[in-house]
């Protein structure tokens, strides 16, 4: 898989409400070729695009996503918290998101982000929906997760699709983990990375993505060390830096 230099984080989370169709549209409007977004289940097992465990921060609702049915979630405003201009933006389903991305020509980096105890059913539901709609002949999505069990299910259901392990801490046994999970990509919190770690990972033949990088100078440094992709809230700011590194 050929990875892009820049990936929009949750769409373009610095410029539009995260994990919304508006955010994905903004990402493509500024030239981002890929977007990253999060998937989880509502209480009634609908796959939605949403990051937090709770609804409070990015909607006008409250409570746990895991305990809220889709009909209730669908009535919430997921845009006004960011800016009144986005009032009325909805929490999208995975199916709606994939349909839009295919229409726009945006490539997805799909993070499986299950509630505690729902790893297996979330991974299976996400993979079933993507497999059902993804066109033959189009390069497959990147499937990522911090949860090892989710990545194993992704490998079981779509063994030829690319997978990435998300790391908020730097695992000393990173090579063994990547081999065990058959992941070709490691996705690290950017503060974990220095030149030596980047060179070790990429020198072992793995691609490396860094999140969430919003400072152009830091992005330029990471790319110069050999990081494959920068995941950013502000793709428009990082694309100019990335073009200079080509």
Q: The CATH number of the domain where 127 resides is what?
A: 3.20.20.190
pLDDT score of 1: 84
Claim: this prediction has a pTM higher than 0.95? yes
Is the pLDDT score of 222 beyond 70? yes
Does residue 18 sit within a domain? yes
Please give the Cα distance from 232 to 114 (Å, whole number): 22
Does residue 65 sit within a domain? no
pLDDT score of 246: 58
pLDDT score of 243: 84
148 is catalytic: no
Residue 78: CB partners within 8 Å, gap ≥ 6?
17, 19, 20, 58, 59, 89, 90, 91
Does residue 75 sit within a domain? no
Per the document, the length of the chain is 246
Q: In percent, how much of the chain has pLDDT > 90?
A: 98
Mean pLDDT of the chain: 97
Does residue 14 sit within a domain? yes
What is the domain extent for residue 105? 6-43+93-244
Does residue 181 sit within a domain? yes
pLDDT score of 237: 96
Q: In percent, how much of the chain has pLDDT > 70?
A: 100
Is the pLDDT score of 43 beyond 70? yes
Answer for the pair 241, 222: CB distance below 8 angstroms, yes or no: no
9 is catalytic: yes
Catalytic residue among 26, 51, 107, 148: 51
The count of structural domains within the chain is 1
For the stretch 148-200, pLDDT in tens is: 999 999 999 999 999 999 999 999 999 999 999 999 999 999 999 999 999 99
Mean pLDDT to the nearest integer, 77-103: 98
Please give the Cα distance from 7 to 210 (Å, whole number): 10
Is the pLDDT score of 245 beyond 80? no
Catalytic residue among 9, 26, 107, 148: 9
Answer for the pair 127, 158: CB distance below 8 angstroms, yes or no: yes
pLDDT score of 88: 98
Query: Can you read off the two tokens belonging to residue 213?
Result: 């990088």
Does residue 229 sit within a domain? yes
């Amino acid at each position: 898989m050929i990875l892009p230099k820049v990936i929009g984080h949750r769409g373009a989370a610095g410029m539009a409400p995260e994990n919304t169709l508006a955010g994905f549209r903004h990402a493509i409007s500024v030239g981002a070729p890929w977007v990253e977004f999060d998937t989880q289940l509502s209480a009634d097992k609908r796959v939605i695009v949403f990051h937090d465990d709770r609804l409070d921060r990015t909607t006008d609702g409250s409570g746990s996503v895991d305990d809220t049915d889709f009909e209730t979630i669908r009535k919430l405003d997921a845009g006004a918290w960011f800016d009144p201009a986005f009032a009325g933006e909805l929490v999208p389903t995975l199916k709606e998101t994939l349909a839009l991305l295919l229409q726009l020509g945006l490539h997805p980096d799909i993070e499986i982000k299950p509630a505690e105890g729902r790893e297996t059913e979330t991974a299976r539901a996400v993979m079933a929906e993507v497999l059902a709609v993804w066109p033959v002949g189009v390069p497959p999505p990147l499937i990522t997760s911090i949860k090892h069990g989710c990545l194993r299910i992704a490998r079981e259901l779509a063994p030829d699709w690319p997978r990435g392990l998300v790391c908020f801490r730097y695992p000393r046994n990173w090579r063994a983990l990547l081999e065990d999970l058959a992941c070709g990509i490691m996705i690290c919190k950017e503060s974990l990375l220095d030149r030596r770690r980047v060179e070790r990972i990429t020198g072992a033949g793995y691609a490396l993505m860094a999140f969430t990088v919003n400072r152009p100078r830091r992005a330029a440094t990471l790319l110069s060390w050999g990081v494959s992709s920068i995941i950013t809230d502000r793709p428009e700011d990082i694309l100019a830096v990335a073009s200079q590194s080509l």
